């Protein structure tokens, strides 16, 4: 009799635990890769009566995140945009490369996972077809927030806002000396990612 009760209890425990095994927790995945389309909008500033602004443009952002636990992780990013940096009437066509890293805090929910981030990085401004201009790298403070919407266990959609605070480029052009100033770039993004 005891053996039958023990066997029935063991079998019942196994059957009841099957749904628990089947519910795979999305937060168990520690790695994420995301590719996003992004906008780039630079705030206009003025120094020595010279306006500095960049044309609005679009680009691409690639991101990798590693999660230490359910809430805390880090990310590494690379972004590319093309625009024209303008100083008064003079414009410099520029390829802009962004490399950054950040701490990310998230609040996982059933399908929606909001997050905030803060970190640092570098913007590399590579002038195109402007005689005497050279590439220039500027340090940047990065902050932002957004949300991931789970489409499957692995696939998700991300909407994110990123802000970068940095010193505007002067490309080592003598006419731009002293015209650099702290500015802000807003980067709204939207794309898809894969967690594994």
Each residue's pLDDT tens digit, 4-45: 544 554 444 444 444 433 344 555 789 999 999 999 999 988
Residues in the chain: 196
Q: What gap in Å lies between CA 128 and CA 11, rounded to an integer?
A: 71
Identify whether 109 is part of a domain.
yes
3 part of a folded domain: no
CB 22 within 8 A of CB 189: no
What is the per-residue pLDDT across 57-69, written as a single tens digit (0 to 9) for each?
999 999 999 999 9
pLDDT at 45: 86
Full residue range of the structural domain in which residue 69 is found: 28-195
Does residue 9 lie within any of the structural domains?
no
Outline where the chain has alpha helix (H).
2-22
Q: pTM for the whole thing? A: 0.82
Both structure tokens of 98:
């962004």
Per the domain annotation, does 17 fall within a domain? no
In a domain, 110, yes or no: yes
C-beta atoms surrounding 44 within 10 Å: 10
CB 82 within 8 A of CB 57: yes
Distance, in Å, from the CA atom of 6 to the CA atom of 117, rounded to the nearest integer, reads 52
Question: How many structural domains are present in the chain?
Answer: 1
Residue 45 lies in a domain: yes
- Binning pLDDT at 50, 70 and 90, where does residue 178 land? confident
Determine what percent of the chain is predicted with pLDDT higher than 70.
86
CATH code: domain of residue 138: 2.40.160.20
| Residue 15 belongs to a domain | no
* Residue 11 within a domain: no
């Amino acid at each position: 009799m005891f053996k039958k009760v023990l066997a029935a209890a063991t079998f019942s425990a196994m059957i009841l635990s099957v749904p628990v095994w089947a519910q795979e927790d999305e937060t168990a995945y520690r790695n994420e890769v995301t590719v996003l389309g992004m906008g780039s909008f630079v705030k206009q500033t003025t120094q020595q009566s010279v306006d500095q602004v960049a044309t609005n443009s679009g680009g691409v952002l690639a991101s990798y995140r590693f999660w230490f636990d359910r809430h805390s992780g880090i990310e590494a990013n690379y972004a590319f945009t093309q625009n024209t940096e303008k100083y008064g009437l003079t414009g410099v066509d520029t390829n802009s490369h962004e490399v950054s890293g950040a701490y990310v805090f998230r609040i996982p929910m059933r399908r929606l996972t909001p997050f905030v981030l803060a970190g640092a990085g570098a913007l590399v401004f590579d002038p195109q077809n402007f005689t005497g201009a050279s590439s220039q790298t500027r340090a940047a403070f990065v902050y932002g927030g957004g949300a991931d919407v789970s489409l499957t266990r692995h696939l998700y959609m991300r909407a994110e806002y990123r802000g970068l605070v940095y010193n505007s480029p002067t490309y080592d052009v003598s006419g731009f000396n002293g015209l650099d100033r702290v500015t802000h770039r807003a980067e709204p993004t939207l794309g898809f990612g894969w967690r594994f």
